[in-house]
């Protein structure tokens, strides 16, 4: 088993990376009221195994699968279920699924009776390396992704590489976008490692996957420990996301997977960085190679023009004092939040 600790004082918690679901903290296992939130795709595969972790039988609620259901309607559905079940404040909510389930359950946990405990059991690669760690929870709105939410840290994150065996190839590829993101923003050696081990990663060799997931979780844990509520450094984790969220919203949530949109967003960030003289064309080509190596898209959807991006980017969470802010790359393995990108520059580069 691999282990990472998110250091947040009294709210610190472990991330346990294993081949199964056998690493639950004992104090959580004895919880009397447990509610598992999952979806119809994941529940038939893993719900029974997660039920077995607890001394008292959990109840569960299923939310339809897909980004389109990370909504206020689903948020209300879970809250209504908790109220109908007479769930008290000492409940433990368990998020069993990918990023949609994790974000929804966390937001409910932050809101129900002003805050209850929750446990993350992420089953997709994207949620294992990114969204399950750090306490960001949210739902989408037609006018913007993740615009309604709260910071709520879990009690523990249990990562089972077993779940990746049943993950569709497209979903696995989408998760690799977030993996590549960590390399681009903070660890150039990790980028080399990913390219050197690409075949083993695609073959899902367990030891290589565990090593890769641990590295990503450790990078994020370190950043979150220094900047929990994204006042500075944590914003760098949004590399590719300003462009990517615009693609997701414009194309319709779920039509493009989050990781696919972020992959294109990172290519746009790299291209913009090269336009500023920070990256070489060789660097941009290397970014493209790394993404395509894992079957990720690198081109903007044919139906989108730069003018289609602007309304979404202007309402992005990183906008400050009316200025759009972007995460760009002064060099591969380094990232910087910049606030001087103009619409004219965007049109010049991508128009």
The secondary structure of residue 129, as a DSSP letter, is I
| Nearest-angstrom CA–CA distance, 260 and 245 | 10
The H or E element that residue 203 is part of is none
List 39, 77, 152, 178, catalytic entry: 178
Which is the catalytic residue, given 77, 152, 241, 317? 241
* SS3 label, residue 46: helix
Q: Is 325 an annotated catalytic residue?
A: no
152 catalytically annotated: no
Catalytic residue among 117, 145, 215, 220: 220
Query: How much of the chain is helix, strand and coil, in % rounded to 5?
Result: 50, 15, 30
Judge whether 114 counts as a catalytic residue: yes
Catalytic residue among 146, 238, 260, 325: 238
User: Residue 186: left (phi > 0), alpha (psi -120 to 50), or beta?
Assistant: alpha
Which residue among 117, 152, 181, 258 is the active-site one? 258
Asked if 188 is an active-site residue, the reply is: no
| R_g over Cα of the chain | 20
| 245 flagged as catalytic | yes
User: Is 258 among the catalytic positions?
Assistant: yes
Q: Residues 6 or more apart from 13 whose CB is under 8 A from it?
A: 5, 6, 153, 154, 155, 156, 157
Active site residue 238: yes
136 is catalytic: yes
Q: Which of 70, 117, 136, 181 is catalytic?
A: 136
CB hemisphere CA count around 80 (13 angstroms): 8
Identify whether the C-beta of residue 38 lies closer than 8 Å to the C-beta of residue 97. Answer: yes
CB 347 within 8 A of CB 335: no
DSSP assignment of 178-234: HHHHHHHHH-HHHHHHHHHTHHHHHTT-HHHHHHHHHHHHHHHHHHHHH-TT-SSGG
Cα(248)–Cα(257) distance, integer angstroms: 7
Among 230, 248, 317, 325, the active-site one is 230
Rounded-to-integer distance, Cα 3 and Cα 90, Å = 27
Residues with active-site annotation: 114, 136, 178, 220, 230, 234, 238, 241, 245, 258
């Amino acid at each position: 088993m691999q282990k990472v600790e998110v250091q947040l004082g009294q709210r610190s918690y472990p991330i346990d990376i294993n081949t199964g679901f056998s690493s639950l903290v004992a104090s959580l296992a004895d919880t009397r009221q447990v509610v598992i939130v999952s979806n119809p795709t994941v529940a038939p595969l893993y719900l029974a195994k997660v039920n077995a972790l607890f001394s008292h039988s959990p109840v569960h609620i299923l939310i339809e699968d897909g980004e389109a259901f990370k909504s206020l309607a689903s948020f209300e559905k879970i809250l209504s279920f908790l109220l109908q079940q007479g769930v008290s404040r000492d409940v433990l909510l368990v998020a069993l699924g990918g990023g949609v389930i994790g974000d929804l359950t966390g937001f409910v946990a932050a809101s129900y009776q002003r805050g209850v405990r929750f446990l993350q059991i992420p089953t997709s690669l994207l949620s294992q390396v990114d969204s399950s760690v750090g306490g960001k929870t949210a739902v989408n709105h037609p006018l913007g992704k993740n615009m309604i939410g709260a910071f709520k840290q879990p009690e523990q994150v249990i990562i089972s590489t077993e779940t990746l065996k049943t993950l569709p190839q497209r979903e696995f590829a989408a998760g690799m976008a977030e993996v590549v993101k960590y390399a681009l923003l903070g660890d150039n050696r990790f980028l080399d490692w990913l390219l050197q081990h690409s075949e083993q990663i695609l073959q899902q060799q367990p030891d290589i996957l565990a090593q890769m997931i641990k590295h990503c979780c450790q990078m994020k844990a370190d950043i979150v420990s220094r900047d929990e509520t994204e006042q500075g450094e944590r914003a760098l984790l949004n590399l590719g996301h300003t462009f990517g969220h615009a693609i997701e919203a414009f194309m319709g949530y779920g039509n493009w997977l989050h990781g696919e949109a972020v992959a294109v967003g990172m290519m746009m960030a790299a291209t913009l960085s090269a336009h500023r003289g920070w990256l070489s064309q060789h660097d941009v080509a290397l970014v493209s190679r790394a993404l395509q190596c894992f079957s990720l898209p690198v081109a903007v959807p044919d139906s989108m023009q730069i003018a289609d991006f602007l309304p979404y980017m202007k309402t992005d969470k990183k906008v400050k004092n009316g200025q759009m802010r972007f995460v760009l790359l002064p060099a591969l393995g380094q990232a910087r939040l910049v606030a001087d990108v103009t619409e004219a520059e965007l049109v010049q580069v991508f128009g």
